[in-house]
Structure 1
Amino acid sequence: MTTLTHDTAVRSRLRSGLLFALLSASSFGLSGPLARGLMNAGWTSAAAVAVRVLLAAAVLAPFAAIQLRGDWKPVRENMKLLVAYGLLAVAGTQLTFFNAVAHMEVGVALLVEFTAPIAVVGWLWLNKGEKPGALTVFGAVLGLLGLVLVLDLVSGLSATGVGLLWALGSMVGAAFYFVLSAHGGEAVPGTVLAAGGLLIGGLALLAVGAIGILPLRMTTNPVVFQDFTVAWWIPLLVLGVVTGALSYVSGIAATRRLGSRLASFVALSEVLAALIFAWLLLGEAPGLIQLFGGALILAGVIIVRLGEPALTEAG
Structure 2
Amino acid sequence: MSVSTLTHDAMKARTTAGLLYALVSATAFGLSGTLARGLLDSGWSAGSAVLVRTALAALVLAVPGFLAVRGRTHVLRDNAALVTAYGVTAVAGAQLCYFYAVTHMQVGVALLIEYTAPVAVVVWLWLRHGSKPSRLTVLGAAIAGTGLVLVLDLFSGAELSTPGVLWALGAMIGAATYFVINADEDNGLPGITLAAGGLLVAAVALGLAGWIGVLPMHAATADAVYDGHTVPWWVPVLALGLVTAAVAYVTGIAAARRLGSRLASFVALMEVLMAVVFAWLLLGELPRGVQLAGGGLVLLGVLVVKLGEGHASPVVEPLPDSRAPVPD
Shorter-chain TM range is over 0.9
Give the corresponding residue for 2:11.
Answer: 10
C-alpha deviation, 1:211, in angstroms = 1.2
2:32 matched residue in structure 1: 31
Q: Give the corresponding residue for 2:305.
A: 304
Contact map agreement 2:113 2:169 (CA 8 A) in 1? yes
Local SS of the residue matching 2:157: coil
- 2:199 is aligned to 198
In structure 2, give the amino acid aligned to 1:210. W
| SS of equivalent residue, structure 2 residue 68 | helix
Question: Could you tell me which amino acid in structure 1 is paired with residue 221 of structure 2?
Answer: T
Matched, 1:157 2:158: yes
Trace 1:112-261 onto structure 2 (pairs within 5 A): 112-185=113-186, 187-261=188-262
Alpha-carbon shift at residue 186 of structure 1 (Å): 6.4
Secondary structure at 1:229's aligned position in 2?
strand
The alpha carbon displacement at 1:213 in A equals: 1.2
Q: Tell me, which stretches of 5 or more residues in structure 2 are unaligned?
A: 321-326
| Cross-structure match for 1:68 | 69
- Structure 1 SS opposite 2:104: coil
Q: Tell me the CA shift for residue 154 of structure 1.
A: 1.3
Q: How far 1:150 moved relative to its partner?
A: 0.4
Whether the 8 Å CA contact 1:17–1:257 is kept in 2: the answer is: yes
Structure 2 Cα separation of the partners of residues 285 and 19 of structure 1: 26
Indicate the SS of the match to 1:68: coil
Change (3 A) 1:240 1:185: farther
1:20 aligned residue? 21
Segments of 5+ residues of structure 1 without an aligned counterpart are: none
2:79–2:187 contact (8 Å) kept in structure 1: no
Local SS of the residue matching 1:22: helix
Contact 1:185 1:256 in 2 (8 A): no
What amino acid does structure 2 have at the position aligned with 1:104? M
Structure 1 residues 123 and 222, CA gap change in structure 2 (3 angstroms): same
| Percent sequence identity over aligned pairs | 55
Measure the CA separation in 1 of the matches of 2:203 and 2:7.
Answer: 41
TM-score by length of 1: 0.97
Alignment correspondent of 1:52: 53
Kindly state the Cα deviation for residue 67 of structure 1 after the two structures are TM-superposed: 1.0
Stretch deviating more after TM superposition (181-190 or 114-123): 181-190
1:263 counterpart = 2:241: no
In 2, are the aligned partners of 1:21 and 1:263 still within 8 Å (CA)? Answer: yes
Structure 1 residue matching 2:5: 3-state secondary structure: helix
Deviation at 1:72, TM superposition (A): 1.1
Count residues with an aligned counterpart: 315
For 1:49-91, what per-residue CA distance to the aligned partner results, in whole angstroms no more than 9, with x for missing partners? Answer: 1110110011111111221224311100111110010010001
Structure 2 contact 97–168 (Cα < 8 Å) conserved: yes
Structure 1 residue 183: Cα displacement: 1.7
Tell me the residue number matched to 2:324. none
SS at match of 1:219: coil
> Structure 2: how far apart are the matches of 1:66 and 1:230?
35
Distance change (3 Å), C-alpha of 1:78 and 1:184: farther
Structure 1 counterpart of 2:173, which letter?
A: V
Displacement of 1:227 after TM fit? 3.9
Instruction: Give the Cα–Cα distance (whole angstroms) in 2 for the partners of residues 88 and 34 of structure 1.
Output: 23
Aligned to 1:107: 108
| Higher mean C-alpha displacement, 61-70 vs 122-131 | 61-70
Q: Which residue of 1 aligns with 2:81?
A: 80
How far apart, CA to CA, are the structure 2 residues paired with 1:3 and 1:230? Answer: 54
**Could you tell me how far apart the structure 2 residues matched to 1:126 and 1:151 are?**
30
